[in-house]
Amino acid sequence: MPSFLKKSQDKEVIAAIDLGSNALRAIIATYSDDTLEIIKTIRVPLRLGEDVFRTGRISAEKMQLTEEAFIEIFHSFVEYNVTNVRATATSAMRDSYNGKILSQKIFQSTGIEIEIISGSEEANIILNAVQGQINLSKKTSMLMDIGGGSTELTIVDGGKILACHSFDVGTVRLLSDQSNEELKRNIDPHIQKMMTFIKHHLPKKRPDLFIGTGGNLRRIGKIRKKILGKSSEFALLTEIIHMEDSISSMTYVDRLRSLELDQNRADVILPAIMITRTLMEKLSLAEIHLPKVGLKEGVLLSLLDKNPKHFILKD
């Protein structure tokens, strides 16, 4: 960050940015007395993946929109007296041949340096966030993060990563599919690859815990709460099947109104639910835990010397 943004109060204010294939997300949090509390969230639906997964590059228009979004976020950082920030970028920036040019433009405009991280780095960051919410010791767990451009699976044994893999299937990549049948046909080969990966590393059993992270999985929890009036921190397979059936029969407008989805989420939620449901059925898993954390929360935690005793999340 620019040198004039110095720590000026007892409460340190830090921020994290996740530049994903579907949206740009930022969070601002205060840190004091071993408590980290998120005080502001920002989401800008840039959809970089729409360009990258079709042409291999980010268009001039989206580059300008992204730079403008970072400038607006920078103004928020100044307003909240942010003293430290870490920004990461994932699948769309990894796959674009002009992503580094965009990073340079943003650095020149704001002083914010973007790290384009690998799938394994992403998995490690997310795991750190999950471990602050769920006890993974003495258990075999599998984490799934469904993004716009990729899906990360991480197998964890006793709190340590056993294996992780990034699969080139994400909600934005699947948006060109016009029917549920097309969606299923295009999802199935990726599920087969996931099953091969899982069986290689867990040949004799399925995971004790199945955990979903990131915005798409968090939204599944919110839909559960909206439709069923139940906790958003986990979902049963039977409920996810019900969600898929209900949402498949809804128009785009119905999804906006009935489920209170924003325009940038209403079209991508069905692919996310279908990936989740198919993998759970293949593994005979009855439930998925949804701890309301993902990459951006993990990035935020990486700015601290140690994880805080208390991490107060925004719903």
pLDDT, tens digit only, all 315 positions of the chain = 454 454 445 689 999 999 999 999 999 999 999 999 999 999 999 999 999 999 999 999 999 999 999 999 999 999 999 999 999 999 999 999 999 999 999 999 999 999 999 989 999 999 999 999 999 998 999 999 999 999 999 999 999 999 999 999 999 999 876 688 899 999 999 999 999 999 999 988 899 999 999 999 999 999 998 888 888 999 999 999 999 999 988 888 888 888 877 777 888 899 999 999 999 999 999 999 999 999 999 999 999 999 999 999 986
Q: In this structure, what DSSP letter does residue 4 have?
A: T
First to last CA, the chain: 28
pLDDT at 4: 40
In 3D space, the residue among 125, 190, 134 whose CA is nearest the CA of residue 161 turns out to be: 125
Homologous superfamily (CATH) for 12-119+296-312: ATPase, nucleotide binding domain (3.30.420.40)
pLDDT at 60: 96
Q: Where are the domains of the chain?
A: 12-119+296-312, 135-292
> CA–CA separation, 285 vs 277, rounded Å?
9
* Phi/psi at 37 (5° precision): -130, 120
Homologous superfamily (CATH) for 135-292: Exopolyphosphatase. Domain 2 (3.30.420.150)
* Crossing angle of helices 215-228 and 269-283, rounded to 10°: 90
Q: Which two tokens stand for residue 229?
A: 């009036």
> CA–CA separation, 131 vs 214, rounded Å?
14
Tally the C-alpha atoms within 13 A of residue 22's C-alpha that lie toward its C-beta: 26
pLDDT at 3: 45
In 3D space, the residue among 166, 146, 48 whose CA is nearest the CA of residue 96 turns out to be: 48
Q: How many CB atoms lie within 10 A of CB 84?
A: 16
| Pairing between β-strand 151-157 and β-strand 160-167 as defined by DSSP bridges | antiparallel
Fold: same for 12-119+296-312 and 135-292: yes
Can you give the pTM of this predicted structure? 0.91
> CA–CA separation, 58 vs 66, rounded Å?
10
